Amino acid sequence: MKYLLSILILFSLSSCAQKDTCINPEAKQNALGKRLPVAISYTMPSVWQRTNNTSPMKFEERIIDPISQAKMKVFYFEGMRDKNEANIQRWTKQFQEEGRTLISQQILDINKIAIVEFIMSGTYIDKAQPMNPNSEVTLRTGSTMKAYIVETQTGTWFFKAVAPSNVINIQASNFDNFVKSIKENN
């Protein structure tokens, strides 16, 4: 599916008739002052099992721990840009204020791409329907969220895992390998 999206984006770049309607590869800079990539590719660790994605909002999801059933969820929103801070604020509110700890909020420079890393731990407020304010809630103590945001010229990618903190720690090298695999798709 990701390759199909990349092909469609590359096709649209090569078939533009008017410059105003085309994606301009030099148009916007990322937080590091570098050109935004047109499209990205990435490689998930082979031990993270692909699931049957039932949500039209999710690009894909992988089980990162079979015992806790913790997942890495991938979202892509075409046309969305400049919403990093709003998403980080929303993710912060997904943890109870008392006892939450911001572990990392930084911009990584990986393969010349600015990748926002966000890591928070505490008691996660797990909603059955995340966008429904009246949704059933389960409080998950001792949880960590590890998330990444990648802006491209065509939209924004969100990679987000919430799991027991020990699972995030055990999977540290898999997260590192994953984030280092993100690159501009040529």
Give the DSSP letter of residue 19. Answer: G
Please state, rounded to an integer, the average pLDDT across all residues of the chain. 82
Residue 10 domain-assigned (yes or no): no
Cβ(149)–Cβ(80) under 8 Å? no
Determine, yes or no, domain membership for 3: no
Domain span at residue 110 reads: 25-184
In a domain, 20, yes or no: no
Condensed to tens digits (0 to 9), the pLDDT of residues 45-95 reads 999 999 987 777 789 999 999 999 999 999 998 765 666 788 899 999 999
Domains of the chain: total = 1
Report the predicted TM-score, pTM, of the whole model to 2 decimal places. Answer: 0.80
Q: Taking a C-beta distance cutoff of 8 angstroms, is the pair 142, 125 a contact? A: no
In a domain, 7, yes or no: no
The domain that holds 165 is classified in CATH as 3.40.1000.10
For residues 80, 106, 60 and 22, what is the CA-based torsion angle, rounded to 10 degrees? 30
**Enclosing H/E stretch for 146:** strand 137-151
- If you average pLDDT over residues 10-19, what whole number do you get? 36
160 residue type, one letter: K
pLDDT tens-digit readout, 118-168: 999 999 999 877 777 788 999 999 999 999 999 988 889 999 999 999 999
